[in-house]
Structure 1
């Protein structure tokens, strides 16, 4: 049978390990290196009793052999071949048992091996759940909460489990019933000395919990919205000062999603206890400004959270106006990739809350911005612009007159005659019911907005 050198090495090392001797540790170390080759991984599991041998070394009395054995399992857990993962099943009860002790490095390797095994096989995942992986992870993070490397590894393993297709039915209820949510949240501290890696992994775990179809009241009771929004405030403040740590966006993204999802589940009467002041809108606007060019998807998520905040509460609409954050939002309306539509929704939320807010928006330059957005090819953008324009012009005669002065009638007429469906109906309604009486303010000297 033709075999490459890597496969020959694995077979040779396997036979050597079957005979106990003083070089057993060195052979295991060599085996772990050989198992980085996918073809060698297949060759190893095809050897009779290969996994039985590895489990025996994993559970033996020699600490160094145990460490090298788990390194071999870790390499196997990376395998792209679907039949390698189930072959590792005999080792999983011992990997779970070892989460409660041993050295830090040993515990880390056990965690990452388990995390790698989770997504590849439903059989393995079901076995791990039956073997108690959720309580084992909870105990591990509780005992090792000061060891950030282990906390990060727990976060990784849990996040792999939470991404399963049936996580909402089988896994998330078990997680919410455990102490894991409180431990995950304790890692998300606004303390400037916090470690980015563990926080990223724990934040993604919370994201997978909040975006499931489960009720988020349990997480709200843990103070998840308060904790995540407080950390976002801290990160937004750092970004505003130009202090963007490498990889920070990997933490900002799941935090934004957590806050956005939790807001949609939070009763209005409880919002003030969960989001205590207007600093969150400042932070969100800072993130928007910092990322709209380099990471537009992240900027769009920031605008989405702003949308959920302003739709939820007039206090945050007022905060955007009082803190003079609206002009910065208006300046971003020309940018596409979903940023402008989400920002326009935020402005629509503000306009919807009070007529006084509509007047303020007009004074801050929103009318001239709408003159530009009404010319866009994006139908969603034009429809949203018509909605916001309607709220502005019905709020005040002066606002309607100002829109006409800026050449607004010709823009609406162009939409009326060149568009179809909802856009045409809205433009016609505005012209016939709210702006026709102000047409005398329009003169041939007016120059439409570009």
Structure 2
């Protein structure tokens, strides 16, 4: 996780007041949000069941010579009786990067392949499409440019009768658009957004999933906010994406995953949050999280469930931030959502820690400045769940500390409840001794909030060897941390130091 660096180092004698701590933590949260919004996740895909009809496709692991590839190309060019077999062999060879480079360098190779892609012989057309799919899956951006002449035909065939063929064309388009702006620009001019809008309403689940995948590849682009998302909103795609965030949807979980990523990229672009809220995004996403939480709580988890939780939680967290008001939080069912997020945090902590981090990030955005949600955390006795996460690194402990800070900022009553939680001060002493300077800094901020409001907390902290932990920080190499620790010692334990 990328975290903000914090403010400049202060002099040793400068007091770290509560308001200053609040301001600095808000600055750190803004930096963290920015880093998360800017993170791009690009992937390419071969659709499941690529072979079809029970065909087992050999996976090529050995190298091939230029002569072998040339012979195949010549057989395809001549249009001999074994053209179909040659195309199948070529498709297998195109799984190798070196073969892809050889093939695209042959004169007119792509144009020949496109001519077969537009053939009226269904078997030849399908194999040529699969060859294009293998090329589109290349991690070499130059190959996607070579395939550029195929895009108008790919878009044309999206309106065809064969769902399988449409699915293949969609994955080719998505792969080609993944990393190349020139391809995306041409697709926009050719009307790709309108074509995807139609595919998202297909009765065939595989087509809907492939369309959402292709759209997500477009939406990840750096120019998406300026060039692509306005077209998506104009084409009214978002209601279709929101509708598909449903566990009971006939199209399956993977379709919901792709739609969730699309919505995340749209929200993260800075689009008007009111637009997304009015279309029911929060309501639908909350219902989905609650359903997933109940499944996790009952032990009926499904493989890949975490891949849906992740983008949905991220989308909601960013939507809360972009909204800038408390009105969208009203749509969250306090107990049900918090229980679901708590279930995800515990269930995936060891196996999928990225899910735990994302759920903690959503909890941070939900609880920031929200007394009602902070109260619900105590009602559900969730603080012990969070304290168990303190020993974990990788950003998990810092997110927990930020969450505790949100609660402590609510005032005296909340600080008193925190300091009465069994194990809170031993847990904070653990983070004071960690090598992570950000975790230590956040711990000192949480301590200052609690100790400044609860006199009894000073006694409890001292009885848990807290003073020894603070004294040890005097030898920390980070001057800012030493200043903060000395401030706490001077303010709260001047007469108790050992």
Coarse TM-score class (shorter-chain normalised): 0.7 to 0.9
Which of 182, 185, 200 is the matching residue for 2:239? Answer: 182
On the 8 A contact 1:58/1:67 being kept in 2, the answer is yes
Q: Which moved more, 1:288-297 or 1:267-276?
A: 267-276
Bigger share in helix: 1
Alpha-carbon spacing, 1:249–1:105, altered in 2? closer, same or farther (3 Å): same
| Cα deviation, residue 374, structure 1 | 2.5
- Residue 7 of structure 1 is matched in structure 2 by 70
- Residue 412 of structure 2 is matched in structure 1 by 355
On the 8 A contact 1:373/1:385 being kept in 2, the answer is yes
Where structure 2 has 5 or more consecutive residues not aligned to the other structure, the ranges are 1-64
| Cα deviation, residue 85, structure 1 | 2.8
On the 8 A contact 2:110/2:146 being kept in 1, the answer is yes
Structure 2 residue matching 1:171: 3-state secondary structure: helix
Alpha-carbon spacing, 1:259–1:312, altered in 2? closer, same or farther (3 Å): farther
Cα RMSD (Å)? 2.8
Where structure 1 has 5 or more consecutive residues not aligned to the other structure, the ranges are 445-450
Q: Which moved more, 1:121-130 or 1:31-40?
A: 31-40
- Correspondence 1:422 to 2:480: yes
How many residues are matched? Answer: 433
* d(CA) in 1 for partners of 2:86, 2:396: 57
Deviations along 1:235-274, whole A, 9 cap, x unmatched?
A: 2222222233112222222112111111111243412443
Alpha-carbon spacing, 1:42–1:16, altered in 2? closer, same or farther (3 Å): farther
List aligned pairs for 1:16-415, cutoff 5 A: 16=79, 29=88, 32-33=91-92, 35-38=94-97, 41-42=100-101, 44-46=103-105, 49-80=108-139, 82-142=141-201, 144=202, 146-191=203-248, 195-365=252-422, 366-415=424-473
- Residue 48 of structure 2 is matched in structure 1 by none
| Cα deviation, residue 428, structure 1 | 2.9
- Residue 448 of structure 1 is matched in structure 2 by none
Alpha-carbon spacing, 1:44–1:384, altered in 2? closer, same or farther (3 Å): closer
On the 8 A contact 2:289/2:309 being kept in 1, the answer is yes
Whose relative contact order is higher, 1 or 2, with alpha carbons under 8 Å and at least 6 apart?
2
* d(CA) in 2 for partners of 1:29, 1:416: 70
* d(CA) in 2 for partners of 1:374, 1:79: 47
If you compute each CA radius of gyration, which structure gives the higher value, 1 or 2? 1
* d(CA) in 2 for partners of 1:297, 1:139: 34
* d(CA) in 1 for partners of 2:317, 2:227: 24
Alpha-carbon spacing, 1:370–1:78, altered in 2? closer, same or farther (3 Å): closer
Q: What TM-score results when the alignment is normalised by the length of structure 1?
A: 0.87
Structure 1 residue matching 2:299: 3-state secondary structure: coil
Alpha-carbon spacing, 1:330–1:193, altered in 2? closer, same or farther (3 Å): farther
| Cα deviation, residue 294, structure 1 | 2.0
Q: What TM-score results when the alignment is normalised by the length of structure 2?
A: 0.79
